[in-house]
């Protein structure tokens, strides 16, 4: 692999970011950070979807322009992602000129190729989905299954995309490329949807929706969500129908597109068809994650359980987002729904980050200071074969899980490794060895634990970059997070600042955490 291009869904800016938005972006950031440890050329795109009737109506209700609403809410997403440590390469807004101009070129090319045509349409339109629905898609009560509202009957003359033209090619691609849709249990769902697809509307009459990109050569029509929103993945790279940029040529096709399971159909089918119509390669993988519930209830404004991720950081008075990042991406197996609760959050991060990984490092460093004035002597550098084997096996499993985008499962093997090293400490009891005067063996045990902790820091980096860097700092060694550093023997010498030895992640509500709050106040 000579490059890695990752995208997320772009968030609709009709409201502020919530924990569901955060889950996807953290998940994507963890994947991206992992691949930056392995290869040089990595690119991470996220952004905001800023057109459509919902934004238009919300802005009208607030007596501001649609662009003012978009500017305000798009900035909220950017600010939230910064606080959550999301280090994207580019942030695309569908109101950006670079995007709008290219979308019009794409639309025009599809018209010229005969892939877009104009037709009279009568259908059921759900403003929540920004999509026309078939009667068979509705609940028994005739409601949209996602928004539980009755769709509106709409009759319009719109432009349509010949989705059915690409049906067979998409089916063949799915069957020939088992990694195209992940998790694999979603494949049959998409194949079933393909059996029932029809051509789709890709414009709306300006009288119905005025806030959008104008259809080229037809100012009475506005380009509808799918060609507008989905094209961001290539417009951000500088795609052009005549002269694509070097960046586009370098990074397309995407290695993985991380999306929610509710929009898998639009990416696996609609987006694939648009790319085929443009003569472009399909992404290697479309990765559909589950939803996040709150205390086992689906998030809903009417219930009042929509949570801001930044509010969680403030509630627990966390200095950075590492704990929330770790919890969110380990809250559910790959592709399944996860759940957030304050109690579970506190218990899990205390168990895994404070008690397991953090305490392992802290007590070992304190023993090194107590018994050897913080110094690893040359005679102590003797590698334990069982620990080395455990690290090697962990790295193999870890990389395999990431290559399949099983991020929560990859985190589990880090915890398993820390458990193994904690067991090694208990079995070898360096405090007893010191008491018995067996100082060389005691030093060897401490060296192996600290060297394992350095490797754990490399594995932990995508999830908890701040904790990872704190581990390196306490080991008085350079921050080396590349996978090529795993096999190096870098920990030797002396702890340079013994006064800075403290828990890298204090237990939430612990004495250390309370002291930190006092210091801040």
The reply to whether 144 belongs to the active site is yes
Q: How far apart are CA 486 and CA 190, in angstroms?
A: 40
Respond yes or no on whether the N-terminal peptide bond of residue 152 is cis (omega within 30° of 0): no
CA-only gyration radius of the chain, Å? 26
The token pair that represents 160 in the structure block: 């349509």
The reply to whether 287 belongs to the active site is no
* Marked catalytic residue, from 149, 298, 370, 500: 298
* Marked catalytic residue, from 192, 301, 518, 520: 301
> If you search the block for the tokens 């397991």, which residue do you land on?
356
Sign of the dihedral defined by the CA atoms of residues 100, 102, 104, 107, in that order: negative
Q: Are strands 116-126 and 152-161 parallel, antiparallel or unpaired?
A: antiparallel
* Marked catalytic residue, from 126, 287, 442, 464: 126
Respond yes or no on whether the N-terminal peptide bond of residue 183 is cis (omega within 30° of 0): yes
* Marked catalytic residue, from 21, 25, 51, 267: 21
Terminal Cα distance for the chain, rounded: 48
Strand locations in 330-489, DSSP E?
Answer: 338-340, 375-376
Q: How far apart are CA 406 and CA 11, in angstroms?
A: 23
The reply to whether 442 belongs to the active site is no
Residue in 85, 101, 87 with CA at minimum distance from that of residue 234: 101
Q: How far apart are CA 118 and CA 258, in angstroms?
A: 32
* Marked catalytic residue, from 144, 287, 442, 464: 144
The reply to whether 34 belongs to the active site is no
The token pair that represents 11 in the structure block: 């968030």
The token pair that represents 210 in the structure block: 């005025």
Dihedrals phi, psi of 439, to nearest 5 degrees: -75, -35
Strand locations in 269-426, DSSP E?
Answer: 286-289, 292-294, 297-298, 338-340, 375-376
* Marked catalytic residue, from 82, 147, 400, 517: 147
Contact 129, 147 (CB under 8 A): yes
The reply to whether 289 belongs to the active site is no
Contact 66, 59 (CB under 8 A): yes
* Marked catalytic residue, from 42, 70, 129, 442: 129
Sign of the dihedral defined by the CA atoms of residues 461, 465, 471, 475, in that order: positive
Q: Coil, strand, or helix at residue 187?
A: helix
The reply to whether 18 belongs to the active site is yes
> Which residues touch 438 (CB under 8 Å, ≥6 apart)?
none
User: Which residues are part of the catalytic machinery?
Assistant: 18, 21, 126, 129, 144, 147, 298, 301
């Amino acid at each position: 692999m000579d490059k890695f291009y990752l995208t997320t869904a772009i968030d609709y800016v009709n409201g502020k970011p919530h924990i569901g938005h955060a889950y996807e972006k953290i998940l994507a950031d963890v994947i991206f950070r992992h691949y930056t440890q392995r290869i040089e050329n990595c690119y991470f795109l996220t952004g905001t979807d800023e057109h459509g009737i919902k934004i238009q109506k919300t802005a009208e209700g607030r007596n501001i322009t649609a662009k003012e609403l978009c500017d305000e809410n798009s900035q909220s997403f950017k600010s939230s992602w910064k606080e959550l440590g999301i280090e994207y390469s580019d942030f695309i807004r569908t109101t950006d000129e670079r995007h709008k101009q290219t979308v019009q070129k794409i639309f025009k090319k599809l018209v010229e190729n005969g892939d877009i045509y104009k037709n009279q349409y009568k259908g059921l339109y759900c403003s929540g989905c920004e999509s026309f629905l078939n009667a068979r898609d509705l609940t028994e009560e005739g409601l949209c299954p996602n928004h539980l509202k009755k769709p509106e009957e709409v009759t319009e003359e719109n432009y349509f995309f010949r989705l059915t033209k690409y049906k067979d090619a998409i089916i063949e691609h799915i069957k020939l490329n088992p990694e195209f849709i992940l998790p694999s249990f979603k494949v049959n769902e998409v194949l079933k949807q393909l059996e029932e697809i029809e051509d789709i509307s890709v414009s709306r009459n300006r009288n119905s929706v005025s806030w959008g990109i104008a259809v080229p050569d037809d100012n009475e029509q506005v380009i509808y969500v799918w060609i507008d929103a989905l094209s961001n993945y290539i417009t951000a790279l500088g795609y052009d129908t005549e002269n694509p940029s070097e960046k586009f040529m370098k990074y397309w096709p995407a290695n993985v597109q991380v999306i929610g399971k509710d929009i898998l159909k639009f990416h696996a089918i609609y987006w694939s068809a648009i790319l085929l119509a443009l003569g472009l390669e399909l992404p290697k993988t479309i990765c559909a994650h589950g939803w996040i519930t709150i205390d086992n209830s689906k998030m809903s404004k009417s219930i009042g359980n929509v949570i801001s991720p930044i509010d969680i950081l403030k509630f627990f008075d966390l200095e950075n987002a590492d704990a929330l990042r770790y919890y969110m991406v380990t809250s559910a197996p790959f592709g399944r729904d996860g759940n957030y609760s304050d109690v579970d959050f506190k218990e899990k991060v205390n168990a895994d980050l404070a008690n397991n990984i953090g305490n392992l490092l802290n007590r070992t460093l304190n023993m090194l200071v107590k018994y050897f004035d913080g110094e690893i002597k040359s005679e102590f550098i003797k590698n334990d074969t069982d620990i080395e084997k455990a690290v090697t096996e962990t790295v193999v499993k870890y990389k395999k899980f990431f290559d399949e985008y099983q991020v929560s499962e990859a985190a589990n093997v880090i915890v398993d490794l820390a458990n193994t090293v904690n067991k090694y400490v208990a079995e070898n009891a360096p405090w007893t060895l010191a008491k018995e005067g067996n100082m060389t063996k005691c030093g060897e045990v401490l060296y192996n634990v600290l060297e394992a902790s350095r490797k754990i820091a490399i594995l932990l980096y995508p999830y908890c970059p701040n904790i990872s860097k704190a581990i390196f700092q306490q080991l008085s060694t350079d921050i080396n997070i590349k996978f090529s550093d795993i096999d190096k023997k870098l920990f030797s010498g002396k702890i340079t600042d013994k006064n800075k030895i403290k828990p890298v992640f204090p237990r939430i509500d612990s004495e250390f955490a309370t002291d930190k709050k006092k210091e801040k106040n």
